[in-house]
Structure 1
Amino acid sequence: MEWQNELTRLVKTSYPIVQAPMLGVTTPAMVAAISNAGGLGSLPVGGLSPDQTRSLILQTKALTTKPFAVNLFAHQNSPVNTAQADQMLQFLKKLCAQHQINYPKPDLNSIIFHSYEEQIDILLEENIPVVSFTFGILNKEVIHAFKEKGTVLIGTATYLAEATLLEQNGIDCITAQGMEAGGHRGTFLDSKTLPLIGSFSLIPLVAENCQVPVLAAGGIYNGKTIKAAFTLGAKGVQLGSAFISSNESLAIESYKKSIHDAAETDSVLTKTFSGRWARGIQNKFMMEVENSGLAIPDYPIQNALTTPLRVLAQKQNNKDFTTLWAGQSASKAESKPAGEIFQKLIKETESLP
């Protein structure tokens, strides 16, 4: 198989395979392992402070000299609905008490929401070669600043209208995120219903209507699915769930076990943890919030309200009260070094006729 194409030339990698940026799971070691193996590692910094952003970049640079991407959250923060948020806070406090969890209730007035615009100068100063983003589109001034620097920009689309808008704004590559993908949906245009377009429909649709390279995401986990994505018109693939159980992952042990034991139907869409639609394995927290009948505050408000609970649950290896983001093929994930997982993907693809 010929791996070199317009995407590898654009991002300067040996293989057109990208590790998905999974905030809370991805580590600098994982990013470096993929980049060192010839792919494109992706460092997630969405919503983090400028200091945290620079620290993670420097940690990654200490582990690789190869190109890697940094991923931003390109949304605009919504005003806080105080009454709605307070209702959710009271519910979370009661829920945790019922399960003997000491919920460290956050102060709504002290929560800080960092915008991607606070991170731009750091990315430019650190000469990040590839910047990917999701939840929206970067503003024109930021796009111009990156273009002046020669930075490659990759945006996320969940349906054709989003892909078209990204291309019209000069974005160099489009991640076509099928509904099978784990983690947060990248949807950003107003829509009455959440776009639930599968990869087999979305990839060719975007590839046929956009001139920039398409990166396929969702349901890709082995050589056959990689080759299928290329057949459908993609120039590259992005895999996330395949690396959740890797040695370099931050996922707690009960999270990894849940993935290995998961059936296809266990992966569901929910807004309960963050206020944005995301795909993960269903657990007690999801069901309790959904059954409460309460309105879920928008992202990033709900995300901030649940962060203390998730941090505590992870320390206790408690899978019922933290996020278990996973795609529909997550059960195929292996507990190996990320580099070995990557090399296996290459060999599987090359062995196919």
Structure 2
Amino acid sequence: MWPDQRVMQMLGIDLPIIQAPMAGAGLSDLAVAVAEAGGLGSLPCALLTPDQLRNQLGIFRQKTTRPININFFCHEAPAPDGEREAAWQRRLAPYYRELGLDPEAPATASNRAPFDDAFCDMVEELRPEVVSFHFGLPEGALLDRVAATGARILSSATTVDEARWLEDRGCHAIIAQGYEAGGHRGMFRTDTVATQIGTLSLVPQVVDAVRVPVIAAGGIADGRGIAAAFMLGASAVQIGTAYLFTPEATIAEPHRRALAAGSDRETALTNVFTGRPARGIVNRIMREVGPIAPEAPQFPLAGGALAPLRSASEPEGSEDFMSLWSGQSAGLSRAMPAGDLTRNLADQALELLVRGPNR
């Protein structure tokens, strides 16, 4: 009954709903729940080691025979810039002193790992049905190895130019990530946040520009958003923030409280947590240092200096120094198990698509 079934047929799923792979926010339990409900469960790997990936995928395979999407970042390691990192430490020094920490202590190294030979070995060993990327695609030799496994390859585009670039390099479907989306912007052929556009405008333009199916992402949190995405020409949707309200999500309690107040809290794009623009709920560090801080080191180095501040304040229930990733539609989300959420979203969307909004 879905008007476009290309993504469902391509990925072997029953519902055109992909759980966004949100690093640090969900692992195999979330992916299993979504998969068993008929959607595509996703396993974010940017914060995992290859051995942790093997373990999490093993848990998934033990609990379900459904397809899995494993997701990787494709950023390049930044060149060392001691002066910029020192300036960032100085900018954060007052907060260190406030919390009784040593502002001269060396910054913690970031553990956000890009796709590399070791992860590619895991793809070849574990044979996931779907492999998705953020910040573009890996270099050609690695991408060829992924394609040789038979995996379907997805990646995020935030512009029409990026979508065409991804299609030219063999992506089987394009995730059109609108400005409303929570977490990191997938932008990789531009670094100008000011020109990023919303889902309502981006999706139909990408649909018109590429031949492969398009997956809409950004600000979609209920059946109305899914139905609208199909009316714009999308073949599926990717949903993130709504799944943060589920018990399977692995976010911290201050993050849950902030999301629960989503209709009363603003979100903004910020680079203070990692060095790349990402959308989250505005908190103290974003207001006082950002939201866009020109002195923040390149991704992912900015996060190292913030880690001690979060570690010292979060046990007291503070959200001041933690990333509260969220899209702009958190106020539409409701707490429920991930499987129920997946089925409810699909039912709501189908009713709108079949009967229309006013019947």
| TM-score > 0.5 by shorter chain | yes
For residues 309 and 59 of structure 1, the distance between their equivalents in structure 2, rounded to whole angstroms, comes to 33
* Alignment correspondent of 2:306: 306
Structure 1: how far apart are the matches of 2:154 and 2:113? 21
TM-aligned CA deviation for residue 72 of structure 1: 0.2
Q: Tell me the equivalent position of 2:9.
A: 9
CA 1:291–1:144 in 2, change beyond 3 Å: closer, same or farther?
Answer: closer
Report if aligned partners of 1:104, 1:309 keep a CA contact under 8 Å in 2.
no
Which residue number corresponds to residue 28 of structure 1? 28
The code of the aligned residue for 1:300 comes to P
Percent identical: 33
Q: Deviations over 1:66-119 (max 9, x none)?
A: 111001001111112111112222433431321x26479764596666331131
Q: Partner letter of residue 86 of structure 2?
A: D
User: What is the distance in 1 between the residues matched to 2:69 and 2:292?
Assistant: 39
How many angstroms apart in 2 are the aligned matches of 1:198 and 1:294?
A: 24
- Residues 336, 115 of structure 1: alpha-carbon distance in 2 compared, 3 angstrom cutoff: same
Q: Indicate whether 1:263 and 2:259 are aligned.
A: no
One-letter identity of the residue aligned with 2:42: S
**C-alpha displacement of 1:54:** 2.0
Answer whether contact 1:268 1:279 (CA < 8 A) is retained. yes
| CA distance in 2 between partners of 1:246 and 1:223 (Å) | 17
Q: How far apart in 2 are the matches of 1:306 and 1:173?
A: 36
| Gaps in structure 1 of 5+ consecutive residues | none
Q: What letter matches 2:319 in structure 1?
A: K
Matched residue type, 1:62: Q
Change (3 A) 1:331 1:219: same
User: Aligned partners of 1:140 and 1:88: how far apart in 2?
Assistant: 35
Q: State the match for 2:74 in structure 1.
A: 74
2:125 paired residue number: 125
Query: Do structure 1's residue 170 and structure 2's residue 170 form an aligned pair?
Result: yes
Change (3 A) 1:105 1:273: farther
Which residue is equivalent to 1:289?
289
In structure 2, what is the equivalent of residue 116 of structure 1?
A: 115
Q: TM-score, normalised by structure 1?
A: 0.93
Partner SS, residue 255 of structure 2:
helix
Question: Residue in 2 aligned with 1:319?
Answer: 319
1:317 to partner: Cα distance: 3.1
Counterpart residue identity of residue 96, structure 2: C
Matched residue, 2:348: 348
Contact 2:271–2:292 under 8 Å retained in 1 = no
Mark the CA change 1:86 to 1:26 in structure 2 (over 3 Å): closer, same or farther. same
Further displaced range: 245-254 or 15-24: 245-254
CA distance in 2, matches of 1:163, 1:96: 42
Measured at CA, do residues 8 and 111 of structure 1 come closer, stay the same or move farther in structure 2, by a change above 3 Å? closer
What is the CA distance between 1:3 and its match in structure 2? 6.7
Paired with 2:158 and 2:226, the residues of 1 have a C-alpha distance of 19
2:89 corresponding residue in structure 1: 89
Is the Cα–Cα contact under 8 Å of residues 245 and 251 in structure 1 kept in the other structure? no
CA positional deviation for 1:239? 0.5
What letter matches 2:226 in structure 1?
A: I
CA RMSD for the aligned pairs?
2.3
1:209 aligns with 2:176: no
How far apart in 2 are the matches of 1:105 and 1:340?
Answer: 48
> Which residue number corresponds to residue 183 of structure 2?
183
What is the alpha-carbon distance in structure 1 between the residues aligned to residue 161 and residue 184 of structure 2? 19
Instruction: Please tell me the residue identity of whatever aligns with 2:27.
Output: T
Letter paired with 1:51: D
Q: Secondary structure at the match of 2:287?
A: helix
1:114 partner amino acid = A
- Structure 1 window deviating more from structure 2 (286-295 vs 180-189): it is 286-295
Structure 1 23/193 Cα, relative in aligned 2: closer, same or farther at 3 Å? Answer: closer
Cα distance change, pair 22–103 in 1 and its aligned pair in 2 (3 A): farther
Return the offset for 1:123: 1.6
1:227 maps to which residue?
227
Aligned mates of 2:267, 2:112 — CA distance in 1: 29
Q: 2:245 is paired with a residue of what secondary structure?
A: coil
1:9-51 C-alpha deviation (Å, 9 max, x unpaired):
1110011110001111112111110011100011101153222
What is the DSSP-based 3-state SS (H/G/I as helix, E as strand, rest coil) of the residue aligned with 1:26?
coil
CA contact (8 A) 1:187 1:195 kept: no
Question: Which residue type is aligned with residue 61 of structure 2?
Answer: K
> Structure 2 CA distance, aligned partners of 1:267 and 1:183?
11
